[in-house]
Structure 1
Amino acid sequence: MEDDVDRLITAWQRERPAMDITPMHVLSRVSRLALHLDRARKQAFADHGLEPSEFDVLSALRRSGQPYRLSPGRSSKRRS
């Protein structure tokens, strides 16, 4: 079954047969999957009234342990 990435690869092979497009087979699909996952993540947060950045802050606080407080400097390090 052919998909959009297959058609993209075919077009590049036709137009630039000497160009190595091997990485495009995987990278194009990974990029498209990342977009779908990002949309699903944002929707899951929106369903609970959260922005992704708000979830990141709440997650950093929860991971910090009791009393679930961090200074702004430590908070930005923990979100990474």
Structure 2
Amino acid sequence: VGNTVFGGRFDNRDHAIAVYEAHNASVKSTLPPERLLTYQVSEGWEPLCAFLDVQLPSEPFPRTNSTAEFRARIGR
């Protein structure tokens, strides 16, 4: 991903953020608003299930991939 998406500059924070934000802007400008859920994982099941028009699951929303877990996975 670092070489393809970020042009080999994944470690350059400002560049990575700019690429990420440009991608999000492109997606938002391409899709009709009713087909796009802008979602923060911290919001849990409710907005996701409402958008998909499905019932809330009985199990709790999974809480994994914390910042610490991500950094450990990429070696930071």
TM-score over 0.5 (shorter chain): no
Q: Work out which structure has the larger RCO, using CA pairs closer than 8 Å and 6 or more positions apart in sequence.
A: 1
Which has the higher Rg, Structure 1 or Structure 2? 1
Greater share of helix = 1
Question: When the two structures are superposed, what TM-score results if normalisation uses the length of structure 1?
Answer: 0.33
Question: When the two structures are superposed, what TM-score results if normalisation uses the length of structure 2?
Answer: 0.34
